[in-house]
Structure 1
Amino acid sequence: MLRYARQLPLIGEEGQARLRSSLVAVVGAGGIGSPLSLYLASAGVNLRIIDGDSVSFNNLHRQILYGEEDIGLPKALVAERELRRRNSEIYVEGITERLTEENAPRLLRGVDLVMDASDNFSTRYIINDFCVRNDIPFVYSAINGFYFAISFIIPGKTACLRCIFPKVEDSGPVPVIGMTPALVASIAAAEAVKYIAGLGTSLAGKLLIGDLKDVEFTHISVSKSKNCPVCSR
């Protein structure tokens, strides 16, 4: 327990035991997924990293798991290597596949929590629909430039992602500065650790929106939609 001595006063030994017995899926090992995975691994959480992409040079300004020597290598496998190197006490599995409707039952099987660290709504809707159908909580995180949004979605209790964003069309890569995904990843990791450790969650039923350019943050309460094609069923 020496590794976790500074967090034990906050979550207790029971909370730490819950972290140690949990399995969290991180979908996307990019700008958000890199710092998010680092913080969860450091806290003692077992991880399944899902990403079908490879490291490229233009990733490096924000995807802090990787170095120049990793260019061309699968992100999921480099992430697995780096996270194991930082904490040999946890289980880490890197999966070099992109999440789809077809493989979601296999890739998300047996997890306690899903972290959406993807960069597109097509993947986010797959996460949402699978998690709602299978009663798995998940954390939605998104960035665009200096802006970010995050919510903790608990099936059956809170609005799902399709309630909040009924139909969003992806428009390709968005601009981003490296600090924005780092901040949203820190908040998402805190929400995950609190939830798993039994301390509750602050963003269930809320959408937190932040702007790092003007340093402004706001909460929006979100409610379930009676016409939602997913969670209203």
Structure 2
Amino acid sequence: MSNLNRQILHWEKDIGRKKVESGSEKLKKINRDIQVDTIYHVISNENVLSMVTGYDLIVDALDNMATRYILNKAAVDLDIPFFHGAVHGFEGRAMTILPGVSACLRCMYKGTVDKEKFPVIGVAPAMIGIIQATEVIKYILGIGRLLTDRMLIYDGLNMSFSEFTVTRNLQCDHCGSKGSLS
């Protein structure tokens, strides 16, 4: 577990275990009445639709852009709200994607996929996770202003937040025209 410094559901004693197992175990200890569905598969173009079909929303807590693009495309194709969060070092960012309504990840990130793993300080994912959880709660309750068409940036080095507008690209290969998953 190379990222143990930013895992609140996984401890040293869990090294060698699957995260879906140790995470599920801890969540059930917090609330024994919840149902935790675990999926232990690498997300790919071939399996993503079967993995997310039937869910009401998707929360992105991934560590690479290639898989985020796959999940983004599936969310757009299936019209599932997608709550994006990403971290790098002391920085984090969050954005909410409502398919057919707001810009998606591909509208914003047009470049190639960086396959390099990013170093991350533990507080950045916690901060972004809190923002994502708040977005999900607001969405479910239908209250407040969601982070649609806006990217919120957390800068842990300067303890500041900034925001920029993201415009939906009607020519986007994910959300501009309903192409096939590729």
Q: TM-score if structure 2 supplies the norm length?
A: 0.93
Q: 1:88 aligns with which of 2, 24, 32?
A: 32
Q: 2:92 aligns to what SS in structure 1?
A: strand
Secondary structure of the corresponding residue to residue 183 of structure 1: helix
For 2:161, the aligned partner's letter is F
Paired amino acid for 2:95? S
Q: How far apart, CA to CA, are the structure 1 residues paired with 2:34 and 2:47?
A: 25
Letter in 2 for 1:171: K
Determine the structure 2 residue equivalent to 1:156.
100
1:190 and 2:134 correspond: yes
For residue 200 of structure 1, report the CA deviation from its aligned partner: 4.5
**Matched residue of 1:122: which SS?**
helix
Mapping of 1:46-195 within 5 angstroms? 56=1, 58-195=2-139
Flag structure 2 segments of 5+ consecutive residues without an equivalent. 178-182
Q: Which amino acid aligns with 2:9?
A: L
Q: Is the 8 A contact 2:72 2:104 kept in 1?
A: yes
Return the alpha-carbon distance in structure 2 between the equivalents of residues 86 and 201 of structure 1: 30
Q: Which amino acid aligns with 1:156?
A: G
C-alpha distance in 2 between matches for 1:148 and 1:118? 12
Consecutive unaligned residues of structure 1, counting only runs of 5 or more, are 1-55
RMSD over aligned CA atoms reads 1.2
Distance 2:76 2:69 in 1: 10
Contact kept in structure 1, 2:53 and 2:78, CA below 8 Å? no
Moved over 6 A (4+): none
User: What is the match of residue 180 of structure 2?
Assistant: none
Q: Structure 1 residue 168: deviation in Å?
A: 3.6
Letter in 2 for 1:179: V
What is the rounded CA distance, in whole Å, between the counterparts of 2:12 and 2:161 in structure 1?
34
Structure with higher helix content: 1
* Superimposed CA distance per residue, residues 35-85 of structure 1 (whole angstroms, 9 cap, x where no aligned partner): xxxxxxxxxxxxxxxxxxxxx2x3221111111111110101111111111
Q: Which amino acid aligns with 2:47?
A: N
How many corresponding residue pairs? 177
Partners of 2:145 and 2:133 lie apart in 1 by 11
Q: CA deviation at 1:201?
A: 4.2
Supply the AA of the counterpart residue of 2:40. T
The CA deviation at 1:119 is 0.5
> Aligned partners of 1:168 and 1:111: how far apart in 2?
29
Q: Aligned partners of 2:77, 2:159: CA distance in 1, in Å?
A: 37
